[in-house]
Structure 1
Amino acid sequence: MKEPSLREIDTRVFRRNLNGLLDVYIAAMEPPSDQLPGRQTIMHRHSSYPGFKAYVFERRRALGTTIAGFVYGFHGASGQWWHDVVNGELERRGGREHSDRWLADTFEVAELHVHPGFQGQGLGRRLLTTICSERSEQTVVLSTLDLRPDTPARNLYRSVGFTDLLSGFEFPGGGPPYAVMGAPLPLALKQQPSHQNS
């Protein structure tokens, strides 16, 4: 079976492929169906943010192309919902200097998902390290479900230098608890066994 190939996609291609990207998101995250129209709107809006960049893993076959995984992010800035909520909580817990250290010049990884059928092959690691490798920001931040501390995603993030900035954090509007994680850039890359990759 042919291995998926990694490629960067621009804003236009990202928007054109939103349905396929959402299919991977749904398979990986199993979100409530009522959240999906809003998720598509949010992803479309994110593609207009400064410094937007996206990569996909694709497998091409005679019958078409399958998206195996994707990642995208952008420069975090005041006025963006996630950035403002997290900034406020970091400042409340640790002061302005603490929040500025992480968010004053940051790259926000908004989504990183690998379809379950392709997990365990190191695709998540390659997506994350590739998208972070060309960034000029001082830090990178993201949020991930905080259901337990040793999920494959959390292990991946920690293996490249991420630490918990917030844990058990509930975003406004309800939903499950999240961990907000951050790392200095460039990432601290280490060779990891493939079974630890998401």
Structure 2
Amino acid sequence: MKELVIVETDLNNPKHAEAVLFSTDQYARDAMGMKRPLDENVKKQLIGRLKEFPSYVGFLAFMDDQPAGVANCVYSFSTFKAQKVINIHDLAVNPQFRGNGIGEALLAEVERKAIKENCCKVTLEVREDNRARNLYERAGFSYGEPRMFFMEKEI
């Protein structure tokens, strides 16, 4: 039987840093990501830049000690509740490990952290065509009222 372990990311641990980089690159290559690998300069800078970013919190899934998925998150703040928020920026399960409950396990770990840190909510953005939308809905995520859209302007 396969062993699934979810851990909070320690970017000073080389195994964790390598797993974050590998899983984030796998996500970037996916149709739900950028459909291409991370740029080489991004790969060189990512871990160091995350270490410098004080609101980063991450979680890694390992299946039989192999990197199986990642949740890259950041703390934000709700002015309406005067409490912290955890935003899931990336939630990805590496292709060979999909269908094993890893996404659910990562979401559950983010939620446990949010409760421990007295956050008022966990947020994420999801593409309308993302195959994981059902996972997020089963985990209790909803569009809310009024329905909001994620917009961006690249600079």
Q: Return the TM-score normalized by structure 1.
A: 0.58
1:143 equivalenced with 2:147 (yes/no): no
1:118 equivalenced with 2:97 (yes/no): yes
RMSD of Structure 2 on Structure 1 (CA) = 3.1
Match of 1:50 in 2: 54
Match of 1:84 in 2: none
- Out of 30, 36, 40, the position equivalent to 2:39 is 36
| Structure having the larger proportion of residues in helix | 1
- Out of 172, 176, 181, the position equivalent to 2:153 is 172
Match of 1:82 in 2: none
Any unmatched runs of 5+ in structure 2?
Answer: none
> What is the Cα deviation at residue 145 of structure 1?
1.6
Which entry has the higher C-alpha Rg, 1 or 2? 1
Match of 1:67 in 2: 67
What is the alpha-carbon distance in structure 1 between the residues aligned to residue 6 and residue 84 of structure 2?
Answer: 27
Q: Percent identity?
A: 22
> What is the Cα deviation at residue 5 of structure 1?
2.5
Q: How many residues align?
A: 145
Q: Deviations over 1:93-129 (max 9, x none)?
A: xxxxxx7437963111121100122112211011011
Residue correspondence of structure 1 range 1-198 to structure 2 within 5 A = 2-13=2-13, 14-28=16-30, 29=32, 31-33=34-36, 36-37=39-40, 40=43, 41=45, 44-60=48-64, 65-76=65-76, 100-101=79-80, 105-135=84-114, 136-147=118-129, 151-164=130-143, 165-167=147-149, 169-173=150-154
After superposing on structure 2, the runs of 4+ consecutive aligned residues of structure 1 that deviate more than 4 Å are: 37-44
> What is the Cα deviation at residue 155 of structure 1?
1.5
Q: Return the TM-score normalized by structure 2.
A: 0.71
